[in-house]
Structure 1
Amino acid sequence: MPKAPPLAITHVWMTLFMVVPAMFCIVAGDTAGKALTQAGAHPFFVAWARFAMAALVLLPLSGLSRDELPKLLGWRILLRGALVVGGIASILTALSTEPIADVFGAFFVGPIISYILAALLLKEHVTPARSLLLVLGFAGVLLVVKPGFGAGLGMGFAVLAGVFYGSFLTATRWLAGHFRPRFLLISQLLVGSVLLAPLALAVGAPAMTPQIWLLLIGSAAGSAMGNFLLAMATRSAPASVIAPLVYTQLIAATLLGYLAFGDWPDALSLTGLAVILTSGLLSLRLARR
């Protein structure tokens, strides 16, 4: 049986240069979201505002045509939108009560979920070596959190966010060949705005100070840019290649957590980060083959 053709080196590096910045953008958005909850905003309001503001800004740039409007009501688009809504609402709820590093540690059941679903539902090719490296990356996550799963309700929401996000990654790969990246982005923003509007109305808005506005804009911009880059990456690389790179999100969470909240990992956590980075680099090497 002939071997599968190698993935072009340029595609690998393009994937790297899209996914890694995407992860930093998404974490930056969530860091701003945590700051918002500390300032008194409810997680559901923050989630809705993030979707609504990004949709308002990006709608004119989305290239959405009249012919595409019916596609917004397609069940696959609605399902993908609901998954990202569940993920963002869950992780913001977790961040409102738990340290950012612990939340993202629990959140990292996501790449495992994505990897398994891609193999089962999308029939993507997986190898024992790549599977082992993904497990190695997850072991690094456990070193970081030591482990802290199930410590409280907030950590339960963090795990739930990871399940939603891993499913969202697979759904994005599933639809990437059928829709434009900008359509996928604007569809999730519009679906999220509609689904979260009743919850945001129920909890109410905080006092809209300049600080709140600035954090809302930063949270929306980070999330939108990160998800756009991720949608671009999924057009040229399978979920099984992208999944290990998503671990760089934990590195971003550690760095931004220190800069924003003064939390710096101990020696064991730094070892875990090194394991995660090694796993991602080795996975990229396999992808080039």
Structure 2
Amino acid sequence: MTSHLSLRILGMVVLAMTLIVIGDAAGKVLTAQGISPVFVAWSRFTVAAVVLLPFSGLTAAELRGFLDWRIIMRALLIAAGISCILTALKAEPIANVFGGFFIGPIVAFGLSALLLKERADLSRMALLLVSFAGVLLVVKPGFGMQIGMGFALLAGCFHGSYLVSTRWLAGQYRPRFLLISQLIIGALVLLPFSLGSIPQSIDLAGGGLVLVSALGSAAGNFLLAVANRTTPANVVAPLVYSQLLAATFIGVIVFGDVPDVLALLGLAVIVLSGLSSLWLAGRRMAQS
């Protein structure tokens, strides 16, 4: 992996994480207005599927992929993860939710080593744990007793598993197919659960938020699928911590949640750890 490629992967993953947080922030605003998290999740999948289907390049030969149990499982993981995090965001501040959500990279790291047999060396594991220590500085533990944070932790477990499944399938399916399949399957699965919570009307601003929620999440997950085609899941996992930076920034701008000194220290730890992990991966791949 060259230095240029390392920076490209870093930029791609950071942009992906930022877009996903923007989508979740729009979802939080919608749930704060009384709209059900399950309906927001369903609308996210449905709107993105309708908008992006013409650009997916889907062919008749690829339709059989929708019957692949691995594709279905991957779509179920992201649908469950998004539903859980939107439920958590309804009750908790966005930075705290993403703090609990960051059990995900540890889940991804462990599963990628266990199931995909990817290298899990001690130095990378140590950097991941340092990143998590930075997260603890940001969120100041104590979130485990709240039901909202329970949903955030559950969302992190689903998302970590989703990252590994994406890496597993990235070499067998096109990124655009992986994206459109998760959108269509997610929309179909969530439809029965959202029927009882469809709002009677949504104004223009609400419609705009639904669009931002859908396309932000879709674009972010597409970039993750592209990154996973060439990058091991346990390399991508520490970079996912950049999502917390975006969540903290958006929390300040949109929701007025200003981080304190300990939180800022935690953010610095996360950034340095993520950059170190990427540098270490690039150096080892260059030597191999």
Paired position in structure 1 for 2:245? 251
Letter aligned with residue 174 of structure 1: W
In the TM superposition, residue 207 of structure 1 has moved relative to its aligned partner by 2.5
Please give the per-residue CA displacement for 1:160-209, whole angstroms capped at 9, x wherever unaligned.
00000000000000000000000000000001100000011022225311
* 1:159/1:206 CA distance change after superposition, 3 Å: farther
SS in structure 1 of the partner of residue 141 of structure 2: coil
2:153 corresponds to 1:159: yes
Deviating 4+ runs (over 6 angstroms) = none
In the TM superposition, residue 104 of structure 1 has moved relative to its aligned partner by 0.3
CA distance in 1, matches of 2:100, 2:256: 20
Letter aligned with residue 147 of structure 2: L
Paired position in structure 2 for 1:221? 215
The answer as to whether partners of 1:41 and 1:206 remain within 8 angstroms in 2 is: no
CA distance in 1, matches of 2:106, 2:88: 20
CA distance in 2, matches of 1:283, 1:238: 12
Aligned residues: 283
2:112 corresponds to 1:125: no
Paired position in structure 2 for 1:4? none
Paired position in structure 1 for 2:25? 31
RMSD across aligned positions (CA): 0.8
The answer as to whether partners of 1:11 and 1:236 remain within 8 angstroms in 2 is: no
Of 4, 8, 24, the residue aligned with 1:14 is 8
Paired position in structure 2 for 1:98? 92
Note the 1:189-268 alignment, pairs <5 A: 189-268=183-262
Paired position in structure 2 for 1:135? 129
Runs of at least 5 residues in structure 2 that lack an aligned partner in the other structure:
284-288
In the TM superposition, residue 148 of structure 1 has moved relative to its aligned partner by 3.0
The answer as to whether partners of 1:102 and 1:148 remain within 8 angstroms in 2 is: no
CA distance in 2, matches of 1:117, 1:10: 28
In the TM superposition, residue 8 of structure 1 has moved relative to its aligned partner by 2.7
Give the % identical residues.
Answer: 57
SS in structure 2 of the partner of residue 207 of structure 1: coil
SS in structure 1 of the partner of residue 229 of structure 2: coil
In the TM superposition, residue 211 of structure 1 has moved relative to its aligned partner by 1.4
TM-score for the superposition, normalised by structure 1: 0.96
Paired position in structure 1 for 2:144? 150
In the TM superposition, residue 151 of structure 1 has moved relative to its aligned partner by 2.7
CA distance in 2, matches of 1:284, 1:143: 22
SS in structure 1 of the partner of residue 70 of structure 2: helix
Letter aligned with residue 276 of structure 1: I
Letter aligned with residue 75 of structure 1: W
* 1:106/1:258 CA distance change after superposition, 3 Å: same
In the TM superposition, residue 144 of structure 1 has moved relative to its aligned partner by 0.7
* 1:133/1:202 CA distance change after superposition, 3 Å: same
Runs of at least 5 residues in structure 1 that lack an aligned partner in the other structure:
1-6
TM-score for the superposition, normalised by structure 2: 0.97
The answer as to whether partners of 1:19 and 1:230 remain within 8 angstroms in 2 is: yes
